[in-house]
Structure 1
Amino acid sequence: MSKPLLYSGYNRGFTLVELIVVIIIVGILSVVAAARFQGKGGFSGFASQKQLVSALRNIQQQAMQDTSQVINGGAPYAMQFSLAVDSDVTISATNGLTGVGFNALGQPVDASNNQICLNDCQIALNDGEVTANICIEAEGYIYAC
């Protein structure tokens, strides 16, 4: 008597479980890929936030390490906000700031070397989807807020 084909040990094809697992994996990958192709999804705003925080801290460090400022009262190290972010990101800041400088103590100052941000300054970066903020305290602490 011959064995039925189902139990013969000679299988051709995939099981239903294998097919369902493959369909689920393909579905997850397509959702992730579609989300990446639809737009930046707020990526520009947060990337610009990190970039601007890094640039501000770098300028601040340079100002604190330059001893000539203390000796001759030279102009502070300064930076315009628009130079450090992508072109599709809009910038707005408290008190109408368009840039900030730092004195030898690392405190934020204007072009005349007068201390600013006494009540903390906030810079908002908007890429059309999300708004990422940067705060600068009077003592010079710069952080994403």
Structure 2
Amino acid sequence: MDMIKKTLRSYRNTIRKKNDALLSSGHGFTLIELIMVIVILGVLSVSIAVNWPTGMDDDAARGELKRALRYAQHKAMTRGYTSAAAAWGFMVAGNQYTVQRQDATDQAETEYISRNLLDDPKISLTGPNIYFNGLGEPIDGSGIPLPVQTYTIRGGITVTVSPQTGYVQ
């Protein structure tokens, strides 16, 4: 038992000497060093926040618009185009779009009816109503082939539909 007590005392003394040596040798942080680290971290966080990627919502809205136009074209090519009145199309009203037949006898699924881009009514959408024939070619309401059609999102992002092929880009 004495041996254990001596060992513990020796161990405690060793720890005290090391702690005293650390404190007396000036190892540690001063208040100025601590403040400098906080300032540097603040500057780094501000520079990261400023350079954070932007425009992801714009890209997502553009992707949704392209997908909806392609879906209208797909519907026209697979749902039996018989006349211009039965053509499937993409209609823009305000900031909303709808995928349906020109004569409104059939509409796409609910997620393509009176929908805002990204479900955000603040995202502006402008462009013409466009229909597609059975070959996927863009046509107007009377069945006449259309030239290039352009849709604009938020005043600067454009999506075009090519004539003859209906390619959406």
TM-score (norm 2): 0.55
Q: CA deviation at 1:61?
A: 1.4
Within 5 Å, which residues of 2 pair with 1:5-84? 8=25, 11-13=27-29, 16=33, 19-20=36-37, 23-30=39-46, 32-33=48-49, 44-66=57-79, 68-69=80-81, 72-73=82-83, 75-81=86-92, 82-83=96-97, 84=116
Equivalent position amino acid for 2:63 in 1 = K
Contact 1:44 1:89 in 2 (8 A): no
Greater relative contact order structure (CA < 8 Å, 6+ sep): 1
- Which has the higher Rg, Structure 1 or Structure 2? 2
Structure 2, unmatched stretches of 5+, are 1-19, 98-115
1:132 is the counterpart of 2:157 = yes
1:28 counterpart SS class: helix
Structure 1, unmatched stretches of 5+, are none
Contact 1:75 1:113 in 2 (8 A): no
1:135 counterpart SS class: strand
CA root-mean-square deviation: 3.6
Equivalent position amino acid for 1:126 in 2 = R
TM-score (norm 1): 0.62
Partners of 2:40 and 2:75 lie apart in 1 by: 53
Cα distance change of structure 1 residues 27 and 107 upon mapping to structure 2, 3 Å threshold: same
